[in-house]
Structures are given as structure tokens and as C-alpha cells.
Structure 1
């Protein structure tokens, strides 16, 4: 999965510096929800600490030579010494407000916080929230994005309130713990629910959940299938993976669990008898990316043992059949409802397509 496609918000984020509105500081820079891209290469010898919990983006940043942390925890609690904090806020408003508040808590007094958002990703409301927190704000519009910046100390009281907006909390009647910004964070995704409804109870052996989110499908698999001996939980978003650890803890006494912060599209490091997945089909920028789901299917086919079974759910319109037919010996449509399809694909014997080494 490429993390280096054109990124107008990243271009907009650096406009105040390239146009002379702001001077790049001599000290360290903190970049929250950082993304790699060509605009960063023109910075004046940056000493930059990046926080990015999405594995493909984190890998791209590390490949570009930046120091990367998956979460803010490694930075300490409100260590406010950065003269500049850059922010690429997410679309989800509570999560974005919490990120603005984190930036405020970590910028030194008199330092500057700069944020950029695409117009179709909530830039206008994002700027309004940013203004509430920082007071006097400057802004510009370009590349179908808005970039806005303000100086500390801002409204520390509102900042403390907003930092808690994306805290983990009970959802689905207390069955799970989740937080804003995670996929389908406050509900059971209907596609995942359809797959869980049709999972057979004879799935067994070593299992994996690809793109597990906060762990709903993993829990359904373990509740329904007593023959599952171990489960590897793969998730590219570190915030979601941490929630899956919490939500699957009740199963740890009877099933070996492993949690992998991993880009499934890059392939899997182990072999399995059973794989379940509700693969993503959008990039972080919300652009349609059916190639991601195709990469998940190919990774599953390469990782399944002969006779192993993939149980997959997807939007009905997504063109996954060609890669399924090319990768599996037997494919059948199990169910269709509400615009979704459930598919079982069985890995037949013979040469492994794209087999990767790994533990067995």
C-alpha cells in the first residue's frame, strides 16, 4: 500500500514557511499524524519527531529518515518544549479536537502550531475549532485545502477538556471498548456483523484476523469456533490494535493471542488454517482504494495452508472476484445483504502463490 501518493494537505501545511509567513525554527519540530512526501524533502535540515499510528505511513516516514512513534505515550505527558508543532488532523471531529489539544499542550509558550486539512475533510469546522483553542489565528487556502496556525499558550482549560474527547470508552452496550477515530468506532459495522452471522463453527487451527479494528470479528470467531487454537490479530492502526488487546483479553486464558501492528498489504509473516477479514477499501485520505482489499486477499492466499479457508466480507460492488479466482482453488458466495457479500475461499494444495517464509 503506497503511503507516498500526492498529498495536497501536506503541501498546504508547509505553505506558511515556503511563502515566508513563518520562519522554520532552529530547534526540534513535532509532527502529529505525520505523513511522508516530497514537500518534506525541501525542509532546512529538520530535526523532526513524528507521531503516526498508521503502519504504512510510519514505515514511509522511517524510510525517509525520520524518527517515528506510533503513539504519543513515548513523548511523555504534555512535555511542552517544541517551538513548532505540525498537525495533519483526522476527519473525525472529536479525534481532531483532541489532537489540536495535544499540540497545544506540547508547544512551548510563544511557539507555533500549524495544521492543514482538505476542504472536503472538514477544513472549515477544523479551523473554527482551532480558533476556539488558540484565539487569534492566521490562515490560507490552496490545493483545495486550508492551512491555519496560531501561537501558544492558547486556552489551556479548553485544551484539557478536549484532550479527553477521544479517550477509550464502552460501546455496543458495554461489550467492547473503543474510541473516536477508529473504524466504526461506536457501533458494530454491518459488514462485519454479516460475516460474523455466517461464520461456520468448524473453523479451527491457527487463525488470523486481517484488519481487525477494535476486535469485533476476532471476538465473534473465538466465541463461535472452539477449534481455534491461536489467533494472530493484524491491524495497521496502532490505536485500534490497542483496543483489540483490551477487547480480546477475556479469551487469553484458552487461546494463544498475538497482536501485530502490521501492513497486511505487504504480506504476512506466518502460516494459517483460517483467516477472516473485512478489508479496508479506502486510504486514510478517504480516496477509494479497492487495490488494498485485493492485496489483503493475495496476502491471505499466500499465508494459508493447503485446505485453509478465507472468510471475507466486502461491499457488493468491489471487484474482488478476479483475484479470488486467481488465488484460490474454490470460491463460493455465501450470502448477500444490504449491499455486502460474504465469500468463502479455500486454498487448494500445490505450489504456494507468492509464499513467504515465516513461523509455522
Structure 2
């Protein structure tokens, strides 16, 4: 049996009070040692079963990272949860994990409903389960958006690892939902219990938030950026992006440009103003980010004739090969709490495939990440465009007729 004939490894299995569930992240990678759940998920599931919390009403789960909570809860009698997530790849994992869920009909857990953080939330919530996000702003936004659907009998429980739950986290629940307390820690996880107080006046939702850009970043000097909650550097321009904006290619003449991992869209908007006739694709796996990019672009586009598209997805997946002239990328180097280069590697590989021969990938990153080695492995070349004590900007050119080198290695 050769390597391509070998069966796919079995998905890791989570034992829950409502049966076992096979769970993977997305995209599934047998080399990935990170599980699709953690102790915070299992602690919450255990509590729900032992406390006898009724799950046959309107159950809403917010921030279920890879679908572990949703897939488990669909095994409870009468439970058809609504799952709200900001992450496209998290939702894809959830869809796959729900589809493989064992049910009496063998049809998978088809009762769950998937929404994004940009969708209209449910009108009524009987049980609200919150996987505490890394971003306090995203938690604030979601609690504000969901509060009108709560009633006096709504059960509200948050869950997270101890390092993810701070006094500021509890203060948000207390201010927006009602009196809040925490559980004892178990396997470095903790639960948050909040009792709805309908007499509270939590104030208005401060998101989305806008701010003015500094005067030293070229065509965007003094312009406005719009950030929805949870998007990187919501209060001010981060230093890596500022450095990137100061060294972007000028009047490249590219017909199609991609802002890959667009965040709030400042990089793509800068390219749009520099190349007004170019078609710009803004893409990110975060619904909040793409909404921010669309708002930032609309705020600054003026009367430029070029087209702009905004896409939530897995990087450049689905973009035709050899269809892009320029890709601009500030890749993340972490997934939730895990530091990894897997996302950057995937973005670089996708960019290589999407670029036309002669097309360029421009990347900004911390010096210590060694992106130049990855780019040389994929493209066969890497040029240093600019550097400072913390960041480097690199350019890689798609060679005529080349194929990605070592695309299966990291």
C-alpha cells in the first residue's frame, strides 16, 4: 500500500455525557497534534449534564471554536442549538464534526443552526453558553447583541481556561448581563455563571469603532479606519501594519490585488487608492474582519473606478490558479492560544498557486519568524524589501511555470 492508498487516520474522539463525538479541526491535518476541544469544553458539558440544565429550549452557543460543544449538545434529547461564530474555518470544522455525529437516523446532527457574528441573533434565548474569546471587545459586542433575547429564567454560563478569564471578563458579564460568579478551577478551566438582571442599563454597544490614521503612512494619511469588535488592533494602527504601509509597492500596475488576511482592510484600501483601476480582493477567515474591511474601504474609496470584492473564507481557497498579480499579506502566527506557522504556510502556498507567473507576494512579519526560508522553499526566491529592528518586509516572485517547492513540508 503506498502513501496515497493509506486510509485517513481516525478523528480524535471526545467522550461526552451524550455519547462519543469524533472531532477534528479545519483543515484536517494528520500531523496536527492540537485537539478540537480542551478542558473548558469538557468542564462545561459535564456541568450541564450534572446540573440537569434543560436543553430542549432555545440554546445558543457563542464562540464554539471547532464545534465540540455543538456536536456534543446535539446528542442531548430535544437539543437543536444555534451556534454563533466569527471564524469561517471554525464553522467549517463545526459543519464536518456535526456531519459525522452519530445519531439514531445516521444522518448526522442536522438540527443545529449556524450563524455568524454579523447575523441577526435569535429573538429568544433560554440557555446561553459562551466560550470566552481571547478578545474582550468581541465578548462585549456579543453580550450587548444577545442581551435583548434573554429573560429572567435564561441560564447564562461562560467557559474558558483560567488564563482566559480575568477580572475584566467577569466585569463585562456583570455589567451587561447581571450578577456574576465563577466556579472553582478544574484542569485549569473555569466556568462563569451570570444571572440576567433585566433592570440593568448596560449602555450602548460601542462597536464598531472608528479612528483616524496617522499622517506618515502615504495615501491613507489622516483617513478613517473602521473596526468591528475582535479585529486586531481595534484602537490604533499596529506597528507592523504601519511599517508595511510605509513600504507597499507604489503604482504597481497590477490588474488584480489581494489583501490576504485583510483584518480591518487598511492594506487593501491603501493598494486600492494607489492603483485606482485595479480589482481588489479583501479576504479573511473572520466575519468581523471582512465587515471592518468593507466599512474601511467604503469610508475611503472616493470615486475610484476599480472593483472591490470582500470574501470570508479560507484564505485564497477557491481563487482560480494564476489569476492574481499581487498578494499583500500580514500573516498571523497563532491560532487561539497556540503559536504556529501553519496558517502562514497555508497562506504562502495559496498565494503561490493564485499568482500569475511574475506575480508577487509581499509579506510583513517579525524578524524571528524566518519567513524568508519558507518563501524560498515555496517560490525559489525571497527578496528583503525593508527591515527595522523588529520587522521585515519580504517579496517573493512566482516564477514562470514553477510549482510550489516542498508544499507538503513545514
**What is the TM-score when the length of structure 2 is the normalising length?**
0.76
1:272 has 2:315 as partner: no
CA contact under 8 A between 1:179 and 1:186: conserved in structure 2? no
Find the counterpart in structure 2 of residue 58 from structure 1: 91
Q: Distance in 2 between matches of 1:21 and 1:194?
A: 52
Match of 2:247 in 1: 198
Query: Structure 1 209/94 Cα, relative in aligned 2: closer, same or farther at 3 Å?
Result: closer
Relative to structure 1, the CA distance from residue 350 to residue 245 in structure 2 (aligned partners, 3 Å threshold; closer, same or farther) is same
In structure 2, relative to structure 1, the CA distance for the partners of 1:125 and 1:141 (3 Å cut) is farther
Match of 1:70 in 2: 116
Deviation per CA, 1:121-180, whole angstroms, max 9, x where unpaired? 23443234324442264523223121122333455312xx1x503333334365211244
Moved more, 269-278 or 33-42: 33-42
Q: CA RMSD in A?
A: 2.5
Q: 1:324 deviation in Å?
A: 0.8
TM-superposition CA deviations, 1:168-201 (whole Å, max 9, x none): 3334365211244210112222112222212222
Contact 2:36–2:66 (Cα < 8 Å) also in 1: no
- Cα distance in 2 for partners of 1:155, 1:97 equals 18
CA contact (8 A) 1:89 1:99 kept: no
- Residue 89 and residue 174 in structure 1: after superposition, are their counterparts in 2 closer, same or farther (change >3 A)? farther
For the structure 1 residues 138 and 103, does the alpha-carbon distance in structure 2 shift closer, same or farther, using more than 3 Å as the test?
A: farther
Aligned to 2:195: 151
Q: Which residue of 2 aligns with 1:168?
A: 209
Q: Structure 2: which 5+ runs fail to align? A: 1-23, 27-34, 99-111, 214-221, 406-410
Unaligned residue ranges in structure 1 (runs of 5+):
355-360
Structure 1 segment 235-254 matched on structure 2, within 5 A? 235-249=284-298, 250-251=300-301, 253-254=304-305
* Aligned mates of 1:239, 1:42 — CA distance in 2: 26
Secondary structure of 1:73 counterpart: coil
SS in 1 for 2:369: coil
After TM superposition, give the deviation of residue 342 of structure 1 in Å: 0.3
State how far apart, in whole Å, the 2-side matches of 1:351 and 1:220 are. Answer: 30
Kindly indicate whether the alpha-carbon contact (under 8 Å) linking 2:132 and 2:165 is maintained by their aligned counterparts in 1.
no
Task: Choose 1-10 or 330-339, whichever is displaced more.
Answer: 1-10
Q: Does 1:220 align with 2:220?
A: no
Tell me how far apart the structure 1 counterparts of residues 264 and 357 of structure 2 sit (CA, whole Å): 29
Counterpart pick for 2:361 among 297, 301, 310: 310
Work out which of the residue numbers 270, 282, 306 in structure 1 matches 2:334.
282
Instruction: Please give the alpha-carbon distance, in whole angstroms, between the structure 2 residues aligned to 1:230 and 1:142.
Output: 51
Q: Measure how far apart 1:292 and its partner are.
A: 1.0
2:291 & 2:67 partners in 1: Cα distance? 27
| Gap change, CA 1:330 and 1:174, over 3 Å in 2 | closer
2:63 aligns with one of 11, 14, 33: 33
Shift of 1:318: 0.9
Deviation at 1:98, TM superposition (A): 3.3
Matches of 1:349 and 1:247 in 2, distance apart? 35
Q: Match of 2:368, SS? A: coil
Deviations 1:199-234 (A, max 9, x none): 2224212111100111111122223345x5211111
Assess, with a 3 A threshold, how the Cα gap between structure 1 residues 156 and 295 changes in structure 2: closer, same or farther. same
Match of 1:9 in 2: 40
Secondary structure of the residue that 2:232 maps to in structure 1?
coil
**Alignment equivalent of 1:208, drawn from 258, 263, 266:** 258
Deviations 1:33-64 (A, max 9, x none): 22234454443143011111211111112223
The more displaced of 262-271 and 290-299 is 262-271
In 2: Cα distance, 1:97 partner to 1:318 partner: 32
Q: Which has the higher contact order (CA 8 A, sep 6+)?
A: 1
Matched pairs, number: 345
2:125 to 73, 82, 86: 82
Instruction: Give TM-score scaled by structure 1 length.
Output: 0.86
Q: Distance in 1 between matches of 2:160 and 2:198?
A: 20
Separation of aligned partners in 2, 1:301 and 1:165: 39
Give the number of the structure whose residues are more often helix, by fraction.
1
